[in-house]
Amino acid sequence: MEKTANEIQKERIKEIEEKAFQLLDRCAVVTLTSINEKGYPRTCAITKVRNNGFSEIYFMTSKRSHLAGKATHFENNSKASVCYYLGGDSVTLIGDVEIVINMDEKRKFDKDCDRNFFKKGIEDPKCYILRFRANEATFWIEGKFRTCKYKTY
């Protein structure tokens, strides 16, 4: 029995998503874009703490300033973009950032916390865990281009 066009498309999407996951696993540093207080995008390079697949990524950052910086940006506007790239392949994600406030959930990141920077570890009130979840992905992997939309959480 031949596969339908829909089945073939689903297989291709699953394949490119798996390659995007493998690519992200090899990228320690990605870019994260927030929207600043004046409505402009602000992109920074940031170390990913961990990820769940290719489209849910966790970051740790500090909230040193109440006026500027990504933690403040995400408190005011959850819209974000993440991009990662390696060896000519890239993935650009659009989605939202949630600040993890549940301490039980935050404690799962305690071993990832830089004690030189956060003296109290994950308990430091300036230590923020950011959870990015994509609702759109644009893939350029192995010369194949595809954009997919995903349900929001």
pLDDT tens sequence across 47-79: 999 999 999 999 999 887 666 789 999 999 999
Greater model confidence, 73 or 113: 73
pLDDT tens sequence across 131-142: 999 999 999 999
Greater model confidence, 133 or 123: 133
pLDDT tens sequence across 42-54: 999 999 999 999 9
Q: pLDDT > 90: what percent of the chain?
A: 75
Which residues, in sequence order, are CB contacts of 50 under 8 Å at separation 6+? 57, 58, 109, 112
Q: 3.20.20.70, 3.30.420.40, 1.10.3720.10, 2.30.110.10: which CATH number matches 5-149? A: 2.30.110.10
pTM of the model: 0.91
Domain ranges of the chain: 5-149
Confidence grade of residue 110 (pLDDT, cut at 50, 70, 90): confident
**So what's the pLDDT on residue 20?**
97
**So what's the pLDDT on residue 77?**
96
Q: What is the mean pLDDT of the chain?
A: 92
